[in-house]
Structure 1
Amino acid sequence: MLTLTQDLHDRIVAHARQDHPDEACGVVAGPAGSDRPERFIPMLNAARSPTFYEFDSADLLSLYREMDDRDEEPVIVYHSHTATEAYPSRTDVGYAGEPGAHYVLVSTADTDDAGPFQFRSFRIVDGEITEEEVRIVAAYA
């Protein structure tokens, strides 16, 4: 199960809506080994595409160095789908290189500024997709 704060949930959704019609992407880092998402890090979709996302390799390298310096890891890797449901595509599965991460997808298909939208989380390990429950809390205990 993915547990995250309402604030982080809202920031991920806002980023997805802001970048629409292109896919948005980013990471939420947390203390290594904690499985607790804390630091919201929106990234630039280097592909600038409505059907594909790609992290800029230099930005990604910089992010991983920064997380290493802060003793953090990517707890959530997120992106949006602009025309399809919030479910990992074959390309998404191929890019899923963090077996411990929660892969969050937000669908902005058929939405306007007020909603509706889909917000779903998955574990992707060795090409196998498992959907998980999302629990939104006001704050971590």
Structure 2
Amino acid sequence: MLFLRKKDYELILEHALNGLPNEACGLIAGVIKEDKKYIEKVYLLTNIDVSREHFSMDPKEQLAVLKDIRANNYVLLGNFHSHPETPARPSKEDKRLAYDSKINYLILSLMNPKQPVLKAFLIQEGKDVSEEVIEIV
């Protein structure tokens, strides 16, 4: 189970809305206690692809984030990106690019910007996808 504070959800949503019509992206970090993952920090990154169909995170920003994660004794819990025009589910490209089966992949669908949908997934090496419960607290 993944726990996300409401203020952090709103930060992700604002980042995604501001990125329209393109995909927005970022990283999430926090702590793991037993089988529960608590997001303590959301990092908003630049989609250097400037695309509505895919994203690439700025490498310099990623490096700075990883340094900050270590400095705060957090672990990388996953990444997030928006789908401006499609549902909150991993695309073929999302599955192909999933590099770590231990992290969460969050997708925020903005098909209907007035009713955004955020879902979290685990993507296994065989590209099997399972949805993880995400609770906004």
Shorter-chain TM band: 0.7 to 0.9
Instruction: Give the CA deviation at 1:99.
Output: 2.4
Alignment TM-score, normalising by the size of structure 2 = 0.87
Give the Cα–Cα distance (whole angstroms) in 1 for the partners of residues 136 and 71 of structure 2.
28
Residue 124 of structure 1 aligns with an amino acid whose one-letter code is I
- Residue aligning to 2:6: 6
**Which shows bigger deviation, 126-135 or 56-65?**
56-65
Instruction: Give the CA deviation at 1:63.
Output: 2.1
Instruction: Give the CA deviation at 1:94.
Output: 2.1
Instruction: Give the CA deviation at 1:26.
Output: 0.3
- Residue aligning to 2:60: 58
Give the Cα–Cα distance (whole angstroms) in 2 for the partners of residues 68 and 93 of structure 1.
27
Gaps of 5+ in 1: none
- Residue aligning to 2:16: 16
Residues 37, 76 of structure 1: 8 Å contact kept: no
Instruction: Give the CA deviation at 1:17.
Output: 0.9
| 1:80 lines up with 2:86 in the alignment | no
Number of residue pairs matched?
A: 133
CA RMSD in angstroms, aligned pairs only: 1.6
Alignment TM-score, normalising by the size of structure 1 = 0.85
- Residue aligning to 1:118: 117
- Runs in 1 of length 4+ with deviation above 6 angstroms? none
Structure 1 residues 110 and 135: CA distance shift in structure 2, 3 A? closer
Question: Secondary structure at the residue paired with 1:105?
Answer: strand
- Residue aligning to 1:135: 135
Out of 32, 47, 50, the position equivalent to 2:49 is 47
Give the Cα–Cα distance (whole angstroms) in 2 for the partners of residues 99 and 67 of structure 1.
19
Give the Cα–Cα distance (whole angstroms) in 1 for the partners of residues 74 and 133 of structure 2.
23
Instruction: Give the CA deviation at 1:46.
Output: 0.7
Question: Secondary structure at the residue paired with 1:63?
Answer: helix
Per-residue CA shift, 1:63-98, capped at 9, x if unaligned?
A: 223323332222131000011111111211122223
Residues 105, 119 of structure 1: 8 Å contact kept: yes
